Homo-oligomer: A and B are copies of this chain.
Amino acid sequence: MTRRIPQARDRGIPDATVARLPLYLRALNGLAERGTPTVSSEDLATAAGVNSAKLRKDLSHLGSYGTRGVGYDVQYLIYQISRELGLTQDWAVAIVGVGNLGRALANYGGFASRGFRIAGLLDADPAVVGDRIAGLVVEHTDELESVIASRAVSIVVIATPATAAQHVCDRVTRAGVTSILNFAPVVLNVPEGVDVRKVDLSIELQILAFHEQRKANGGPIMAEEWPDGVEQVNERSIGASS
């Protein structure tokens, strides 16, 4: 691989920190719009909804970009975080699966404004192929490999039904894609070196339901066994098929 110059922030940006950088970036953009020139870690932390010490430690992983007694220069910090996240270059993104969700994603403004350019929309359904969505014409998934290669797609968003997701995943990884954002409710199997991030709408609701239940009755104090003394036979009475 390429030689690397060892540096303070060389290899060691913790995942937890990386996950928060976009949050800081958004808060900073808000401040920039209002023309704020500098911001203290305290104020920025409040805007981003985190502890100020955590924010300082996070930023310290990027380098020493603050000024003691003053704070951080908003524009400068926006640039540094953007660069660290790789948002100063633009990324070609392909969305596979143009159902309700894929359509919503294609129209979502938050992508284009952050260096993500939707370079292709693909679907297996001939009835959808040819539709014009968000300025792009939907192409057939047969074109998947050629679209990826010709338009230098480096990130693929999978918004297909669960059953198709693994197949699409296999094809795009074989085509050289190493970053996948998966909305299908399945655990994708990928080769070494491929990053998958998963967004699962129903999981979030289930976590909320857990806490809501905890709040409603001070914790589950109901019976621990089956509802009616039912034996543990295969009754298929509870599990909802997805």
Contact = CB atoms under 8 A, between A and B. Distances in A.
SS class, residues of chain A in contact with chain B: mixed
Copy total for this chain: 2
A118 B241 CA distance: 18
Nearest to A18: B210
A105 B200 CA distance: 11
Contacts of A76: 226, 232
Contact of A232 (B2, B75, B93, B203): B75
Interface stretch (A121-129, A136-144, A164-172, A213-221): A213-221
A1 B217 CA distance: 9
Nearest to A20: B203
A241 B91 contact: no
A32 B10 CA distance: 47
Contact of A209 (B26, B115, B224): B115
The residue in A28, A35, A79, A209 that gathers the most chain B C-beta atoms within 10 A of its C-beta is A209
A114 B89 CA distance: 41
A163 B31 CA distance: 15
A142 B115 CA distance: 37
A187 to B, nearest CB: 4
